[in-house]
Amino acid sequence: MILQCAVLFAFMALGEFVVYFTGVPIPSSIVGMILLAVALKLRVVREMWVNKISDFLVKNLGFFFVPAGVGVMNCFGLISEQWLPIAGASVVSTFLIIAFTGRIHQLIRKLSAHRNELYRE
């Protein structure tokens, strides 16, 4: 399990280096996880190297939201003052994400069906 943690931390560190040297405006943890996903897809990293630690982290995911929840509790004054813009942004962003995801899904299904037709010929 320590080796699996080391693999995850190595990709997080790699994400830090990428963001630091390129100045990409994306969180380094996201860059690291994208690099890990690419490495898994290219089979540079094997799934068995990270499966136990990733299962553990997913099973305990709720625990990692506790600090964020405490942070929100510390901002109740600001939230009570700005509840309308927060609620509006939440509703609008939810509809945009649903619409964007649906559009991408339709596009992928169309491209997949077109590709399957090409291989049948």
Same domain? For 25 and 76 the reply is no
Query: In whole angstroms, what is the distance from residue 49 CA to residue 39 CA?
Result: 12
Same domain? For 55 and 3 the reply is yes
Domain that holds residue 106: 65-121
Q: Which two tokens stand for residue 73?
A: 């509790």
Give the tens place of pLDDT for each residue, 43-65. 999 999 999 999 999 999 988 88
**Total tally of structural domains belonging to the chain:** 2
pLDDT above 90: percentage of residues in the chain: 70
Same domain? For 25 and 1 the reply is yes
The answer to whether 49 and 10 are in contact (CB under 8 A) is no
Same domain? For 51 and 83 the reply is no
Same domain? For 75 and 120 the reply is yes
Amino acid of residue 43: R
Give the tens place of pLDDT for each residue, 2-28. 899 999 999 999 999 999 999 999 999
Q: What are residue 55's phi and psi, to 5 degrees?
A: -65, -45
pTM: 0.62
